[in-house]
Each structure stands twice: as structure tokens, then as C-alpha cells.
Amino acid sequence: MAEGKKQTKGMSRREFVSAAGVTAVAAGAAGVLVGCATVPQEMQQPALQVTPKYIVVDQSLCSGCRICEQVCSEFHYGVYNPELTAIIVERGYGGKGHWITTNTCRQCPNPWCMRSCPVDAIWRDVRTGAVVIDEKTCIGCQDCVKACPFGMAKMRPDGKKAFKCDMCGGDPQCVANCPMNALSAQPLMWKEAELVGGEQS
């Protein structure tokens, strides 16, 4: 997310095809996570160093305190700004009364955001398993924002760069600081042919 943070870069889809000169084969099954499209896959991928995880919310425990939003933006940008948080808490009234919904990035096996990026600024970090955006490469076209079916790719307030959850380099601060223990990092489930950007070692 923030430009100052260095991560171990994986291989984007376009870089792999260009380097290997192979034709992608179509994956036959739908993505494990709802909304994650099955896209053509390369025969080989750089090895992941960990089992990828994503943040799961127990909505029954969430109090809507927004501490997760605060620690997210402060960790990455040094300021509390709801427009700079990669986890989104929504609260409102209607129907059966007060409701709270917390949304997080699914770190999709076949990410729509990665698939849509025209400059290969989105890749799977082989060190953490997270799908990350390289803000130095990002051109601010918003294609990833439009492509994400969950609304978890966002634009910075200045409109120049996109950002999303990067799992805080492997130690998600929202999980560590949730006072209600409503957040947890759970292993991502996928079929071997469906994971884009890395292969479990």
C-alpha cells in the first residue's frame, strides 16, 4: 500500500507469460470464493513461502467501533483517515434495527483486480500470500476499483493511486488490535489450478 514499504514481489500474469512464452490453459472449475472468476492459468508459478490467508469477520462479535479502520490507516499512512483504510465498517438503521457490516479483502485465488490491471501493478506477494498493489507502478486508472466485486480496491483521496489490503506484510494490525476478537486471519482455500500469482511451496 504505502510506497515506503518493501515486499517480496511475486510474478504478475503478463510477466510470466512474457518470460516463459507459454500459452495459458483455462481452469475448468469456478473460483472457491464467490465472485472470484476462474481465469486462464499458467503452467508454473513462483513458489509461495506461506499459505495465503485472508481476514475473516465474525459479524456477531463486531461492535462497529472502527478501531480496525483506525489502525489500518495509521499503520500504512501514519494518520487516521477512513478514506485510507482497507477494511470498511458500515453501520446503519433499517429493517430489523441497527446493523453493522465489516468488509475485508478476500485475497482472491483469481483476483479480478490483478486481472484488470493494464500495467501489472498488482501481484501476489510470495512472502505473505497477499494480493498487493505497487503504488509506484500504479497509474491510477481505477480499473481494479471497477473490477473488484467486493469493492475492496480503493483510490486514495487524491485520486492518483489505488490501494487495498496487503495483510500488513503478514501481520494484519486490524486482527491484532480488534478489542472484540471479531477478526481473524484464516487460510485461503483454493484448487491448485486456480491460484494466480503463486504456488504453495
Any idea where the domains of the chain sit in the sequence? 13-200
Q: Is the pLDDT of residue 3 over 80?
A: no
How far is residue 46's CA from residue 15's CA, in Å, rounded to a whole number? 12
How far is residue 150's CA from residue 94's CA, in Å, rounded to a whole number? 22
Which of 7-21, 96-110, 138-152 is predicted with the least confidence, judged by mean pLDDT?
7-21
Could you tell me which of 82, 84, 74, 72 has the C-alpha nearest to residue 154?
84
pLDDT digits (tens, 9 = 90+) for 114-160: 999 999 999 999 999 999 999 999 999 999 999 999 999 999 999 99
State pTM to two decimals.
Answer: 0.73
Is residue 134 a contact partner of residue 163, using CB atoms and an 8 Å limit?
no
pLDDT digits (tens, 9 = 90+) for 36-82: 443 444 434 567 888 899 999 999 999 999 999 999 999 999 999 99
Segment 150-172 shows an average pLDDT of: 96
Grid cell in block for residue 8: 517480496
How far is residue 22's CA from residue 26's CA, in Å, rounded to a whole number? 13
Beta strands (DSSP E) in the chain are 47-48, 53-57, 88-94, 97-103, 122-124, 131-133, 154-155, 162-163, 183-187, 199-200
pLDDT digits (tens, 9 = 90+) for 66-78: 999 999 999 999 9
What CATH class has 13-200? alpha beta
How far is residue 172's CA from residue 185's CA, in Å, rounded to a whole number? 8
- Can you say whether the dihedral through the CA atoms of 143, 124, 107, 158 is positive or negative? negative
